[in-house]
Amino acid sequence: IPAFHACIVGAGLSGSVIAERYASWFRDRKVLMVEKRNHVGGNCYDYTDKATGIRVHKYGPHLFHTNHKAVWDYINKDDLQRRGAGGWIRWDHEVLASVENSHQGSTFVPVPINGISLNILFNLNLTTDEEVKTWLDLHRPRKEDRCTLSNEKRETEQKECQNAEDQCISRVGQDLYNIVFKTYTEKQWGRKATELGPEVTARIPVHGNFDSRYFQDPYQALPQKGYTRFVEALLNHSSITTILGLNFFEVRDILEDGKFCSELFFTGPIDAFFDEKLGKLEYRSLMFSPRVFFDVGESSHVQPSSVVNYPSPDVPWTRSVEYKQFLRQKSNHTIVVYEHGTKYVAGQNEPYYPVPNDQNRRLFKMYQELSKRLESLNQSDGNRKPKVHFVGRLANYKYFNMDEAILNALNLFDHLYVNIHGSGSGKG
Ligand code: FDA
């Protein structure tokens, strides 16, 4: 019998959900969690700032939202509440963009762009959803001049989008693109929009109505006690041992010994797992500059919404986040974190966003082939190594929202164990 049945690398949401499922489903099997940072939670990690008493998300603002009832039910499980997760509080996130317009000068408009934003930006008086949709449609290029994404339904004669700029203009028209999206995208990625793949702007939402909420999902909430507490609750199980501050690559020989672990779940970067032998996958990183404002008043704020985007080329940061506004926290002070897109340098900063271009897509596919070959190896074939599974945003080289990370981990677990072992195993 190996020392641990499952060894998991990375205590972000993906790895922690696998750990929780494994420990709850197989009640007698031991799980080892290895995390290189000195905290759990991965990029969702939050903490209480000492100077202000305000809860801050260390790696950028995290707003939970999902369409998936299964994910919502999972994060609200009684079992997790008993283990200290805390509840989820409904939170409809709203974002403003600080923009210049011709008739007012500097002003704030809701993002995603909707009827309210259009009225402010272009001095209009749109009053119905129909009018908003018609305005948006009239200001897009003519149908035959629009491009589509490779996986989108194409109307006759439409060409495929070549880059983020032609994709975005096709979707929102030249004016909105220039005012709201062009420079923001370029500041975020440090490249011209024409040098970025069309998928970069494909997810930018525009609403043909007057709904200013950032997300439209039925479930949107913030964890009452924070994300870190939630992840701690996932790992708070007698079968799970968590070791912080331990890099997988320092103990790889041990974790890859079948006598120590029979299954290995890796949630770190896929190219690092294979020693970057085919080349490095590119990432974009972020820099966070916090500023504390003292004695502003217990319920007062210094910006008009929790998150403000800055599409202007004259402002160096892309957005600023006033964390006090999340869940209407009380403090006599406030803290604003300014976010800048920056180059990723391994060992110096964090890999946040995969850079979507053909070269990275090809390289990832090659790593995926290697990972599939490894995943199909079986211990019973005389292979003394653990069975390896790749999970999470870094191993999939894909931007996942939190709900997607959770769903992905739940689906993998079901695929590996529940659908096979069926009702014979624990119900967790
Ligand atoms: P994650 O990166 O969180 O965890 C991986 C863990 O593995 C890390 O803790 C890392 O230290 C560890 N690790 C890596 N290599 C290791 C090694 N060699 N040895 C040991 N440990 C290792 N989503 C959303 O739904 N709403 C939102 O508002 C936001 N906001 C947001 C803002 C920003 C700036 C970013 C970059 C991302 C978001 N997200 C988001 C996405 C969210 O962060 C994401 O879904 C989860 O963090 C994914 O969790 P994972 O566990 O997959 O990765």
In a domain, 106, yes or no: no
Tokens of 298: 């217990």
389 has which bridge partners? Answer: 265
Nearest CA-CA partner of 396 in 10, 2, 1:
10
**DSSP assignments along 147-209, one per residue:** EE-TTS---TTPEEP-SHHHHHHHHH-HHHIIIIIHHHHHHHHTS-GGGS-THHHHT--B-SS
pLDDT digits (tens, 9 = 90+) for 241-265: 999 999 999 999 999 999 999 999 9
Kindly indicate whether the ipTM for this predicted assembly is greater than 0.90, answering yes or no: yes
In a domain, 124, yes or no: yes
Q: Given a cut of 60, is residue 224 above it in pLDDT?
A: yes
User: Cα of 314 to ligand 1 centre, how many Å?
Assistant: 30
Of 202, 236, 258, which residue sits at a domain end?
A: 202
Distances in Å between the alpha carbon of 102 and those of 98, 107, 121, 122, 179? 14, 10, 8, 8, 11
| pLDDT score for 380 | 60
User: Cα of 417 to ligand 1 centre, how many Å?
Assistant: 25
In a domain, 372, yes or no: yes
Please tell me whether residues 129 and 186 are part of one structural domain: yes
Please tell me whether residues 268 and 190 are part of one structural domain: no
Residue whose CA is at the smallest distance from ligand 1 atom 22: 10
Q: Which residue has the tokens 């803290």?
A: 335
Please tell me whether residues 148 and 272 are part of one structural domain: no
Enumerate residues lining ligand 1, CB below 6 A.
9-15, 34-37, 42-44, 59-64, 247-249, 267-268, 286, 352, 392-394, 400-403, 405
Residue whose CA is at the smallest distance from ligand 1 atom 39: 401
Of 171, 202, 233, which residue sits at a domain end?
A: 202
Select the more confidently predicted residue: 158 or 314. Answer: 314
Tokens of 17: 């959900």
pLDDT digits (tens, 9 = 90+) for 260-300: 999 999 999 999 999 999 999 999 999 999 999 999 999 99
pLDDT digits (tens, 9 = 90+) for 170-206: 999 999 999 999 999 999 999 999 998 898 888 788 9
206 has which bridge partners? Answer: 113
Q: Given a cut of 50, is residue 4 above it in pLDDT?
A: yes
In a domain, 304, yes or no: no
Please tell me whether residues 187 and 243 are part of one structural domain: no
Please tell me whether residues 360 and 253 are part of one structural domain: yes
In a domain, 228, yes or no: yes
| pLDDT score for 155 | 65
Please tell me whether residues 137 and 24 are part of one structural domain: no
**How far apart (Å, rounded) are the C-alpha atoms in residues 148 and 170?**
8
In a domain, 311, yes or no: no
Of 147, 169, 202, which residue sits at a domain end?
A: 202
Please tell me whether residues 150 and 254 are part of one structural domain: no
In a domain, 58, yes or no: no
Helix pair angle (164-172, 182-189), 10° resolution: 150
Please tell me whether residues 123 and 80 are part of one structural domain: no
Please tell me whether residues 263 and 142 are part of one structural domain: no
pLDDT digits (tens, 9 = 90+) for 53-80: 999 999 999 999 999 999 999 999 999 9
pLDDT digits (tens, 9 = 90+) for 72-113: 999 999 999 999 999 999 999 999 999 987 677 789 999 999
Please tell me whether residues 160 and 73 are part of one structural domain: no
| pLDDT score for 378 | 67
Please tell me whether residues 86 and 164 are part of one structural domain: no
Nearest CA-CA partner of 243 in 39, 5, 29, 20:
39
User: Cα of 44 to ligand 1 centre, how many Å?
Assistant: 6
Q: Given a cut of 60, is residue 422 above it in pLDDT?
A: no
Q: What is the CATH number of the domain that holds 14?
A: 3.40.50.720
Q: Cα 31 from chain centroid?
A: 26
Mean pLDDT of 343-350: 93
| pLDDT score for 200 | 87
| pLDDT score for 424 | 43
Q: What is the mean pLDDT of the chain?
A: 93
Residue 268 sits in which domain range? 4-47+63-91+220-280+355-424
- What is the best residue among 62, 95, 230, 273 to mutate for testing ligand 1's pocket, by most ligand atoms within 8 Å of CB? 62
108 has which bridge partners? Answer: 98
Q: Given a cut of 60, is residue 423 above it in pLDDT?
A: no
What one-character DSSP code corresponds to residue 2?
-
Residue whose CA is at the smallest distance from ligand 1 atom 10: 10
Residue whose CA is at the smallest distance from ligand 1 atom 47: 43
**How far apart (Å, rounded) are the C-alpha atoms in residues 366 and 371?**
9
- Phi/psi of residue 6, each to 5°? -125, 130
How many independent structural domains does the chain possess?
2
Residue whose CA is at the smallest distance from ligand 1 atom 45: 402
pLDDT digits (tens, 9 = 90+) for 121-171: 999 999 999 999 999 999 999 988 889 887 766 666 778 899 999 999 999
List the end-to-end C-alpha distance of the chain, in Å, as a whole number: 23
Residue whose CA is at the smallest distance from ligand 1 atom 6: 10
| pLDDT score for 113 | 95
Q: Given a cut of 60, is residue 393 above it in pLDDT?
A: yes
Contact between residue 388 and residue 266 where contact means Cβ atoms under 8 Å apart: yes
